[in-house]
Structure 1
Amino acid sequence: MRQLFLALIATTGGLSALIWLTQSLRFVSLVVGRGLSLRVFLELTSLMVPSFVAVVLPITTFVVTLFVYHRLSGDRELTVMQAAGLSPFALARPGLICATVAMVVTFTLNLWIVPASYHEFKQYEFQIRNKMAAFMLQDGVFTKVSDALTVYVRERGHDGSLKGIMIEDDRVANSRATIFAERGTMLVVNDQPRVVLYDGSRQEIDHRTGRLTMLLFDRNTIDLTSSKNQENRSRDASEMSLSELLHPDLTQINIRDRGKLAVEGWRRITTPLTAFSFAMIALVAILRGAFSRHGNITRPLGAILSVVGLLALNLMLQNLAGRNMALIPLILLESAAPAFICAVLLFGPEIRAGRETAAIVRQTQEG
């Protein structure tokens, strides 16, 4: 039990860290380009870690169970325990407990922690892209606040005052403007970054006539978010709760996305079952079969190929079920059936032997 849990924690942590490292690289340019700190980068990317753990935990449970039991078999420890009279169920009990714990943890991650953390991640990313970046204006630098908004500040004071401001505002396609101001001040209104400009001008070109129009102002306020419509962004399926996925509000979603939402909901339910099924495959590969003095690589290799095949089949079923919701029950069957089949193969002879022994005892007592 100790070997299983220590190996499971180490393997899951190491693999999750590796995935976090590779996935977080795509956010380096976002953070560096916005001039944000290392703390912001770590806070943003750490919100993705629960989803990584939920994905790798069923696989690491299989790998750890297979490795630990195979090592026990190679060191002849399983042979000694079997000779001492331990049943297959007694030998498999530590692996079953480890698989059950992994299944419960995956359920907790999929149903509560991952949706909440992914929602926070999307909110934080949105805040960085559309709000926080506006406060990272640097002296003498053209800061690209968004794809359609560029700000230049000649000088910035510690109190938030700005001097020598130029803004290129292309957020409205037919009304692109260049704004100049002698000075300005950064403000936050309703959690939105704004800059109040003083003594400036707003220049636009009428594309129909080609004439330049200029508006002089003493005071003007500019919203520095990339788009007001983005404030009410549509939520991703990974952010929704299980009830929202299985019983969506059809007035809020596209009818074509209903199958994808249902598949996502059933994926959260069935993925934890695969952790138990994969562990059972590993137990059957090691505990069932004749002992070989020279070792046997065939059964572990067969178990690995079986798990790879089940993962590929699961992905295929999810893609098909997204188009045809009648195939969704096959996802549940594919996740739970291997555990049941392996339980019959591993514990079936023991159960039958117990029944036969009980029948002999009854006959003896009756005789």
Structure 2
Amino acid sequence: MKYIIRNAAGPCLFVTAVLTGIIWVVQALRFVDEIINYDMSFGAFALITVLLLPQLLPVTMPIGVFCGMLYAYWRLSTDSELVVMRAAGLSRVSLARPGLILGGAAAILVASMTFYFMPAANSTMRDTRFAWKYIYSTIVLREGAFTALKDRLTIYVRERRPGGELYGLLIHDDRNPGRAVTMMAEKGTLLRAETGPEIILLNGNRQERNLSTGEVSLLYFDRYNVEIDSFAAGVPVRRQKIEERDIAELFSVGADDVGDELDKYRAEGHRRIALPLLTVAFALIAIATVLSGEFDRRGSWRRLTLGCICAGMLQGAVLGLLQAANTEPLMIGLLYLLLAGSIGFALFLIRAGAGMKQVPQNAPEGAA
């Protein structure tokens, strides 16, 4: 049993790691713009990208378990190791038990991700992105362009350099009723403060015009501090999304709390339950593909092809039913029926003698 587990664990981990790595790189590239636009630190970027893993593993691990299990059992079959084990008296159920244990362990890991780690990681990631975008950000200032903030503050920057250094600044401020202020400076520096981003102007002037009297005052300065209140009503309140709620919240909320999105909350909760079951189903399909037929190499590619097609169809059906469950709750019943049927049928094929040709009782001794 340990020998089969060792042979199957390596391919499962390898395929899962490769799939997760590819998707992780693609997803991480989406945050490059935030590093540039919001001056996000490398530590914050690294934290966000690491928090992607609990979201990716529940999707990639079932596929990795299927591919790794299929490869491991098929290699044991082609090397005639399964034939030797059968000759030693091991039944098909005994040969399938190590793969089922490994698949069960993978399902428990997927369940821990979907039930706890995934919503916790989603919440932490969105908190980090929200903080850098609305609190710690040095705002988005494009070189050679006028940047309007809340239609009351307009900033022009001729050149922007690393470290928040700005050159050739022009700021027009209409935030105070009855007054229009225009500031020009040779250079400036963007800083982060607890109340939001600030800009320090160096070597410039400040012109203020009273809109009611038309009087204009002019002030030359060596240093002037301007608070960049990007959000006049304060920092926006971040709403918690469905992906951030744990499974208990998804099933405990009522229509009064979420309104028309109640079906979506229920569908998300059942999705988190379905993914561990899908992992077990994939493991059993891979094992049944190898063990359900005779131990020969003739026609073996047909079973491989059929097993891959069945796994692909199951994956597509599960995703389709979950998507449909967002608007039609009856699809949830079909989802569990499909998963239970797949697991049960795979166990039926793995049972002793499934797929084996029966030898007639009056056959010669050599035929047996």
Instruction: Write the distance in 2 (CA, Å) between the matches of 1:170 and 1:343.
Output: 73
Whether the 8 Å CA contact 1:107–1:268 is kept in 2: the answer is yes
1:339-358 counterparts in 2 under 5 A? Answer: 339-347=343-351
- Supply the AA of the counterpart residue of 1:129: K
CA apart distance, 1:35:
3.8
Instruction: Write the distance in 2 (CA, Å) between the matches of 1:329 and 1:202.
Output: 69
CA apart distance, 1:143:
9.7
Instruction: Write the distance in 2 (CA, Å) between the matches of 1:3 and 1:83.
Output: 20
> Is residue 91 of structure 1 aligned with residue 95 of structure 2?
yes
- Supply the AA of the counterpart residue of 1:266: H
Q: Tell me which residue corresponds to 2:125.
A: 121
- Supply the AA of the counterpart residue of 2:249: E
CA apart distance, 1:312:
1.1
1:206-355 counterparts in 2 under 5 A? Answer: 222-226=227-231, 228=233, 231-253=236-258, 255-294=259-298, 296-347=300-351
- Supply the AA of the counterpart residue of 1:11: V
> Is residue 9 of structure 1 aligned with residue 16 of structure 2?
no
Q: 1:43–1:216: structure 2 CA closer, same or farther, 3 Å change rule? A: farther
Q: Mean Cα displacement is larger for which, 238-247 or 211-220?
A: 211-220
Q: Tell me which residue corresponds to 2:109.
A: 105
Instruction: Write the distance in 1 (CA, Å) between the matches of 2:265 and 2:216.
Output: 50
Aligned pair partner of 1:188 in 171, 187, 193: 193
CA apart distance, 1:203:
7.5
Count residues in correspondence. 339
Instruction: Write the distance in 2 (CA, Å) between the matches of 1:256 and 1:213.
Output: 56
Q: 1:91–1:215: structure 2 CA closer, same or farther, 3 Å change rule? A: farther
Gaps of 5+ in 2: 355-368
Higher helix fraction (1 or 2): 1
Gaps of 5+ in 1: 351-367
SS in structure 1 of the partner of residue 77 of structure 2 = helix
Q: Tell me which residue corresponds to 1:365.
A: none
CA apart distance, 1:63:
0.7
Whether the 8 Å CA contact 1:161–1:186 is kept in 2: the answer is no
CA apart distance, 1:259:
1.0
Whether the 8 Å CA contact 1:130–1:224 is kept in 2: the answer is no
Q: Tell me which residue corresponds to 1:33.
A: 37
Whether the 8 Å CA contact 1:142–1:150 is kept in 2: the answer is no
SS in structure 1 of the partner of residue 84 of structure 2 = helix
Whether the 8 Å CA contact 1:62–1:278 is kept in 2: the answer is yes
Q: Mean Cα displacement is larger for which, 75-84 or 212-221?
A: 212-221
Q: 1:228–1:314: structure 2 CA closer, same or farther, 3 Å change rule? A: farther
CA apart distance, 1:290:
1.7
Whether the 8 Å CA contact 1:65–1:95 is kept in 2: the answer is yes
* TM superposition score normalised by structure 2: 0.76
Whether the 8 Å CA contact 1:36–1:136 is kept in 2: the answer is no
SS in structure 1 of the partner of residue 118 of structure 2 = helix
Identity over aligned residues, as a percent? 29
Q: Tell me which residue corresponds to 2:57.
A: 53
Q: 1:28–1:344: structure 2 CA closer, same or farther, 3 Å change rule? A: same
Instruction: Write the distance in 2 (CA, Å) between the matches of 1:215 and 1:322.
Output: 61
SS in structure 2 of the partner of residue 322 of structure 1 = coil
Q: 1:178–1:105: structure 2 CA closer, same or farther, 3 Å change rule? A: farther
CA apart distance, 1:151:
4.7
